């Protein structure tokens, strides 16, 4: 069992012996209370603690005996004891208490009390007090700390409360002071509700009146219109202990102070008896026009008068004053000489005057100061507003004093110029320095000019070079001059408007306008171009239709059948000749395939195969066909070409039957000519070859006759023999030459790469004797290898060099130069001499066989050499010609194919 629970159990005495034993054995105090709150039993531990038997003790006595306290030391009320609460039916658990034992030790216990209930009725209480001193120590510490913390918090709270009160009081006082100050200083107010106390330094005045009283013995005080005494000295006991104490007499005092002192002119004073029958003197204190208080001197008797003591006694009785004390107080009232009072009064009048004038003046001054400050603040505000307005409008102002050359700028001007007041010297020259260099002269001229010409104003737009960035700004300046009485300009005032944005926009507009202008011009040029092109197009159209008509006519006139085919075998276009051939109109044919038209597949299929091939490869084709016809064979030539458009071809068929006949005839003729030529050549060869033999006999026998019978047959016979021999020799030479000519074809060898240089070296060697006899010189340039018949090439050079030697000029040794130059696929050879030259009219003729330009007497020869040269060169596929001027020399030129 343990305390704390509500237990249905037996009360002491009714407990079982075992339970008693248990309770007795517990090491801490245990109590059993009867329902009436009296200790029914306590265990030995409890009795040890109390030092006495506790049985029969009431709750209160238990508390007293054991000095039971709350842990914080406060005494416990009887109904706070856990046992008392348990008796009321409430179980109490571990309630901390302190208990003092009989030997004076203090224990900490945790008391738990449980009602013992039977049948729903509390029949007793079980209380247990386990000793928790050690624990309580710790708890006490904590308790103490908590207590300290709480006490601290309470102190804090109290301080905070005091502070709040003080703050509140301070705020009240502040508000009061502020209100007063505002009243004092607000310029609109005419001091109407100012109190006298508001304007006086009361401690100083108090000292003053005290000093005055000490020196003069005249009591004095300063009282406002409500009767409030603001400063005073020399107050009499009759006043302070009697008149001002009793309400009625006090009212008399105040009424006297207020009413009897009313209406006194400023600077004057009034002597009167107060309602308490004492003398008073008052002089007003004015605040401007307003009466705000009085300087009083009073509560005295004149030296030369006897106070009416009966009156005062009656007054004492009337107001219940202690008559003896009152009279004694009256006797103590100063009795002043009239001069003293008068002198004191004069002083006090002055004092009142001084307070009035000084107070008022001070107030005026203070207000003036406030007004000045307000004006200054308002001025500053306006200046700031102006600066801001200037900043917003980008509008600055400046002023130049011409006498001092001092220039002042508004903030915005500094901003526009990118300068700070520190770095700017504020002179006209410094200003000019900030102007853009290119505009500086114009700006200076504008200003100086306006001064020179005495104009009142001028305006100018110019640029400013902003320091330190070098940014360029545009400004518009307007300047006005101010004059003195004599009309001289003494000051210039100007406005500077930053118009950069507008200016840039204008420039941009201008640029765009120019662009537009340029674009316009370009457009016009394009229009003109278009017009010209349209005209050209018109002309071209006309041209085109003319050309179409022309082509149409040509196509119709041409002896060809022209048709344009799609690869699919569809007619795209055809000329009338085709339509006629097919016996249809063109419209019936164009756009249709040959199958749709029903053309003969045997004729068309080969054509279509050709069309397909040409379309695919782009290679043109040409073919000839022959068809039998009643008039004999009919020949047709057909060409097929792909059109640039792609899968279309143009087929052109031409009837070449006639041409074919002519060609065949020509071929036949050529063949016959070749045969005849061959025959002729054979004949020439045979003739020259065969003629040689009889001619040789004729020549040798003639020579024999000549040798044997010269001088014997008569002179004529000698001549005749000589002619015969000569004729025979010439005939031999002619026949040899002829044989050579005929051999060009008959003995011809195939062309082979031939070194011209080597050939020429052989020729020069062969002709060496002739060259040296003629005292000649042959110069040979480097020569190429060509495709040639070497022996024939040798013949060419032999003939040409031989002629050059033969037709030399008698007076000049012959110089012959052989050279070669490449010309495309050919080499061009030149054999140049410095001989007699040839008249151009014979340039052709000299290449003809047997053609000579000289007689045999002049130059020996047969006239065949150049003909041989020509024939050989032509056989090699080249050409030969001569360039010459008579008397200077000739150049024989010929070409041979290059390798
Ligand atoms: P030939 O020399 O036997 O008369 P060619 O056929 O060699 O016959 O020459 C024909 C003619 O061309 C010559 O008679 C001569 O008048 C002229 N001729 C040829 N070569 C030269 C030359 N190198 N200078 C001047 N005349 C020339």
Positive or negative torsion for Cα 784, 786, 790, 792: negative
**For ligand 1, what atom is nearest to the CA of residue 833?**
23
Q: What pLDDT, on the 0 to 100 scale, is given for residue 151? A: 67
Distance 803 CA to ligand 1 centre (A): 6
pLDDT band at 443 (very low <50, low <70, confident <90, very high): very high
Distance 853 CA to ligand 1 centre (A): 7
At residue 5, does pLDDT exceed 60? no
Distance 702 CA to ligand 1 centre (A): 31
Q: What pLDDT, on the 0 to 100 scale, is given for residue 877? A: 92
Higher-scoring residue by pLDDT: 335, 891? 891
The Cα 872–Cα 850 span in angstroms is: 16
Say which DSSP state 845 is in. Answer: G
Q: What is the DSSP string of 792-813?
A: HHHHHHHHHHHHHHHT--TTS-
Q: Checking phi first, is residue 845 left (phi over 0); if not, alpha (psi -120 to 50) or beta?
A: alpha
Q: What pLDDT, on the 0 to 100 scale, is given for residue 841? A: 95
Of all protein residues, the one whose alpha carbon is nearest to atom 12 of ligand 1 is: 846
Give yes or no for a contact between 4 and 114, defined as CB atoms under 8 angstroms apart.
yes
Which among 866, 870, 893 is the best mutation to test ligand 1's pocket, defined by most ligand atoms within 8 Å of the CB?
866
Average pLDDT over residues 126-154: 64
Distance 107 CA to ligand 1 centre (A): 173
* Selection from 19-23, 133-137, 356-360, 645-649 with the highest mean pLDDT: 645-649
Q: Strands 815-823, 777-780: parallel, antiparallel or unpaired by DSSP?
A: parallel
- Report the share of the chain in percent with pLDDT over 90: 25
The Cα 786–Cα 207 span in angstroms is: 154
Q: What pLDDT, on the 0 to 100 scale, is given for residue 459? A: 92
At residue 1, does pLDDT exceed 50? no
Lowest mean per-residue pLDDT among 89-98, 135-144, 371-380, 857-866: 135-144
833 C-beta closer than 6 A to ligand 1: yes
Exposed/middle/buried for residue 156 (C-beta within 10 Å: 0-12, 13-18, 19+): exposed
Q: What is the mean pLDDT of the chain?
A: 84
The Cα 60–Cα 38 span in angstroms is: 10
Q: What pLDDT, on the 0 to 100 scale, is given for residue 811? A: 92
The Cα 136–Cα 108 span in angstroms is: 6
865 C-beta closer than 6 A to ligand 1: yes
Lowest mean per-residue pLDDT among 26-40, 428-442, 473-487, 679-693: 679-693
589 C-beta closer than 6 A to ligand 1: no
The Cα 341–Cα 299 span in angstroms is: 12
Average pLDDT over residues 794-800: 96
253 C-beta closer than 6 A to ligand 1: no
Average pLDDT over residues 345-358: 81
Lowest mean per-residue pLDDT among 353-362, 667-676, 685-694, 733-742: 353-362
Q: For residue 167, give both structure tokens.
A: 């703050």
889 C-beta closer than 6 A to ligand 1: no
Distance 833 CA to ligand 1 centre (A): 13
The Cα 699–Cα 726 span in angstroms is: 8
**For ligand 1, what atom is nearest to the CA of residue 849?**
6
Of residues 266, 338, 327, the one with CA closest to residue 297? 338
366 C-beta closer than 6 A to ligand 1: no
Of residues 593, 586, 588, the one with CA closest to residue 571? 593
Q: What pLDDT, on the 0 to 100 scale, is given for residue 12? A: 44
849 C-beta closer than 6 A to ligand 1: no
At residue 556, does pLDDT exceed 60? yes
**For ligand 1, what atom is nearest to the CA of residue 835?**
24
Kindly report, residue by residue over 382-398, the tens digit of the pLDDT: 777 766 766 666 678 88
Average pLDDT over residues 476-505: 89
pLDDT band at 775 (very low <50, low <70, confident <90, very high): very high
Positive or negative torsion for Cα 520, 526, 532, 538: negative
Q: Checking phi first, is residue 323 left (phi over 0); if not, alpha (psi -120 to 50) or beta?
A: alpha
Cβ neighbors of 782 (< 8 A, separation 6 or more) are 757, 820
**For ligand 1, what atom is nearest to the CA of residue 863?**
8
Q: What pLDDT, on the 0 to 100 scale, is given for residue 9? A: 40
Of all protein residues, the one whose alpha carbon is nearest to atom 3 of ligand 1 is: 861
HSE (side-chain half, CA atoms, 13 Å) at 360: 15
pLDDT band at 711 (very low <50, low <70, confident <90, very high): confident
864 C-beta closer than 6 A to ligand 1: yes
pLDDT band at 8 (very low <50, low <70, confident <90, very high): very low
846 C-beta closer than 6 A to ligand 1: yes
Q: What pLDDT, on the 0 to 100 scale, is given for residue 4? A: 37
At residue 608, does pLDDT exceed 60? yes
- SS3 (DSSP) at 149: helix
At residue 140, does pLDDT exceed 60? no
Which among 814, 863, 871, 880 is the best mutation to test ligand 1's pocket, defined by most ligand atoms within 8 Å of the CB?
863
Distance 571 CA to ligand 1 centre (A): 67
Q: Strands 335-336, 290-302: parallel, antiparallel or unpaired by DSSP?
A: parallel
Average pLDDT over residues 468-473: 86
Distance 852 CA to ligand 1 centre (A): 6
Q: What pLDDT, on the 0 to 100 scale, is given for residue 158? A: 67
Lowest mean per-residue pLDDT among 10-14, 32-36, 317-321, 741-745: 10-14
Average pLDDT over residues 312-317: 88
**For ligand 1, what atom is nearest to the CA of residue 804?**
23
Cβ neighbors of 398 (< 8 A, separation 6 or more) are 407, 408, 409, 410, 413, 431, 493, 494, 496
Average pLDDT over residues 714-732: 87
Q: Where are the beta strands (DSSP E) in 484-620?
A: 489-498, 560-566, 571-574
802 C-beta closer than 6 A to ligand 1: no
Could you tell me the pTM of the whole model? 0.36
Distance 751 CA to ligand 1 centre (A): 27
Average pLDDT over residues 107-131: 83
- SS3 (DSSP) at 351: helix
Distance 808 CA to ligand 1 centre (A): 11
CB atoms near residue 664 (< 10 Å)? 11
Of all protein residues, the one whose alpha carbon is nearest to atom 18 of ligand 1 is: 803
At residue 191, does pLDDT exceed 70? no
Which among 807, 808, 844, 867 is the best mutation to test ligand 1's pocket, defined by most ligand atoms within 8 Å of the CB?
807
Average pLDDT over residues 664-691: 84
At residue 138, does pLDDT exceed 60? no
Lowest mean per-residue pLDDT among 413-427, 474-488, 846-860: 413-427
pLDDT band at 517 (very low <50, low <70, confident <90, very high): confident
734 C-beta closer than 6 A to ligand 1: no
At residue 609, does pLDDT exceed 80? yes
Of all protein residues, the one whose alpha carbon is nearest to atom 2 of ligand 1 is: 861
737 C-beta closer than 6 A to ligand 1: no
Q: What pLDDT, on the 0 to 100 scale, is given for residue 14? A: 52
Q: What is the DSSP string of 700-717?
A: HHHHHHHHHHTTTS-HHH
The Cα 399–Cα 144 span in angstroms is: 81
Q: For residue 191, give both structure tokens.
A: 């001091």
- Report the share of the chain in percent with pLDDT over 70: 88
pLDDT band at 524 (very low <50, low <70, confident <90, very high): confident
Supply the angle between the helices 338-393 and 202-216 in degrees, to the nearest 10.
160
Which among 803, 860, 863 is the best mutation to test ligand 1's pocket, defined by most ligand atoms within 8 Å of the CB?
803
At residue 816, does pLDDT exceed 90? yes
Average pLDDT over residues 2-9: 39
Q: Where are the beta strands (DSSP E) in 252-390?
A: 270-273, 279-287, 290-302, 335-336
803 C-beta closer than 6 A to ligand 1: yes
């Amino acid at each position: 069992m343990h305390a704390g629970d509500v237990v249905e159990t037996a009360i002491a005495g009714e407990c079982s012996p075992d339970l008693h034993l248990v309770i007795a054995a517990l090491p801490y105090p245990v109590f059993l209370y009867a329902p009436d709150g009296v200790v029914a039993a306590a265990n030995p531990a409890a009795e040890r603690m109390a030092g006495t038997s506790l049985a029969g003790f009431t709750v209160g006595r238990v508390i007293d005996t054991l000095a039971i306290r709350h842990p914080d030391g406060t005494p416990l009320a009887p109904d706070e004891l856990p046992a008392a609460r348990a008796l009321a039916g409430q179980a109490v658990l571990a309630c901390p208490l302190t208990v003092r034992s009989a030997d004076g030790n203090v224990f900490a216990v945790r008391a738990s009390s449980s009602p013992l209930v039977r049948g729903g009725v509390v029949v007793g209480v079980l209380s247990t007090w386990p000793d928790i001193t050690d624990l309580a120590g710790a708890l006490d510490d904590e308790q103490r700390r908590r207590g300290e913390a709480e006490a601290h918090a309470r102190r804090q709270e109290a301080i905070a409360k005091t502070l709040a009160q003080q703050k509140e009081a301070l705020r009240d006082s502040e508000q009061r002071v502020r209100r007063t100050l505002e009243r004092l200083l607000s310029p609109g107010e005419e001091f109407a509700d100012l109190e006298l106390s508001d304007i006086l330094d009361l401690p100083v005045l108090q000292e003053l009146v005290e000093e005055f009283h000490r020196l003069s013995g005249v009591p004095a005080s300063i009282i406002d219109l409500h009767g409030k005494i603001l400063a005073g000295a020399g107050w009499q006991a009759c006043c302070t202990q009697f008149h001002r104490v009793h309400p009625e007499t006090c009212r008399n005092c105040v009424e006297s102070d207020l009413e009897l002192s009313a209406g006194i002119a400023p600077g004057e004073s009034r002597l009167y008896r107060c309602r308490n029958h004492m003398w008073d003197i008052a002089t007003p204190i004015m605040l401007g026009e307003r009466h705000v208080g009085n300087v009083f001197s009073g509560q005295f008797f004149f030296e030369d008068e006897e106070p009416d003591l009966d009156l005062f006694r009656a007054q004492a009785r009337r107001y219940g004053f202690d008559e003896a004390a009152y009279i004694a107080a009256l006797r103590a009232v100063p009795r002043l000489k009239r001069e003293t009072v008068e002198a004191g009064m004069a002083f006090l009048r002055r004092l009142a005057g001084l307070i009035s004038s000084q107070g008022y003046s001070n107030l005026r001054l203070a207000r003036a100061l406030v007004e000045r400050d307000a004006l200054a603040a308002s001025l500053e505000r306006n200046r700031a507003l102006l600066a801001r307005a200037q900043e917003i409008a980008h509008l600055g102002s400046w002023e130049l004093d011409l006498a001092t050359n001092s220039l002042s700028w508004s903030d915005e001007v500094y901003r526009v110029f990118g300068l700070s007041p520190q770095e700017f010297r504020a002179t006209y020259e410094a200003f000019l320095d900030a102007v853009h260099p290119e505009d500086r002269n114009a700006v200076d001229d504008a200003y100086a000019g306006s001064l020179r010409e005495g104009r009142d104003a001028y305006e100018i737009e110019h640029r400013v070079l902003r320091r330190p960035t070098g940014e360029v700004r545009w400004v518009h300046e307007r300047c006005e001059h101010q004059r003195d009485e004599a009309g001289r300009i003494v000051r210039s005032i100007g406005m500077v408007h930053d118009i950069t944005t507008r200016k840039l926009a204008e420039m941009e507009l201008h640029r765009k306008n120019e662009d537009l202008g340029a674009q316009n011009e370009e457009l016009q040029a394009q229009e003109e171009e278009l017009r010209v092109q349209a005209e050209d197009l018109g002309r071209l159209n006309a041209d085109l239709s003319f050309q179409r008509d022309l082509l149409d006519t040509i196509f119709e006139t041409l002896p060809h059948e022209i048709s344009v085919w799609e690869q699919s075998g569809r007619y795209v276009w055809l000329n009338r000749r085709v339509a006629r051939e097919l016996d249809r109109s063109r419209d019936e044919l164009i756009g249709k395939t040959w199958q749709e038209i029903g053309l003969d597949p045997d004729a068309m299929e080969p054509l279509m195969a050709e069309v397909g091939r040409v379309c695919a490869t782009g290679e043109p084709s040409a073919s000839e066909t022959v068809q039998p016809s009643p008039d004999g064979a009919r020949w047709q030539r057909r060409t097929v070409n792909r059109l640039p458009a792609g899968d279309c071809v143009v087929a052109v068929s031409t009837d070449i039957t006639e041409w074919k006949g002519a060609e065949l005839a020509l071929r036949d003729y050529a063949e016959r000519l070749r045969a005849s030529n061959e025959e002729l050549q054979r004949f020439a060869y045979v003739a020259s070859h065969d003629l040689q033999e009889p001619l040789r006999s004729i020549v040798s026998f003639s020579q024999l006759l000549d040798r044997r019978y010269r001088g014997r047959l008569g002179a004529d016979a000698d001549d005749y023999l000589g002619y015969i021999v000569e004729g025979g020799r010439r005939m031999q030479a002619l026949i040899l030459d002829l044989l050579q000519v005929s051999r060009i074809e008959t003995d011809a060898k195939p062309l082979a790469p031939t070194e011209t240089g080597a050939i020429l070296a052989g020729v020069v060697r062969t002709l060496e004797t002739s060259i040296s006899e003629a005292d000649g010189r042959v110069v040979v340039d480097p020569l190429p290898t060509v495709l040639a018949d070497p022996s024939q090439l040798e013949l060419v050079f032999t003939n040409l060099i031989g002629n050059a030697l033969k037709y030399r000029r008698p007076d000049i040794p012959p110089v012959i130069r052989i050279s070669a130059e490449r010309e495309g696929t050919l080499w061009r050879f030149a054999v140049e001499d410095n001989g007699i030259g040839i008249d151009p009219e014979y340039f052709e003729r000299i290449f003809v066989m047997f053609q000579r330009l000289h007689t045999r007497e002049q130059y020996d020869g047969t006239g065949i050499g150049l003909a041989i040269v020509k024939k050989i060169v032509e056989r090699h596929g080249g050409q030969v010609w001569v360039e010459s001027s008579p008397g200077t020399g000739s150049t024989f030129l010929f070409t041979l194919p290059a390798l």
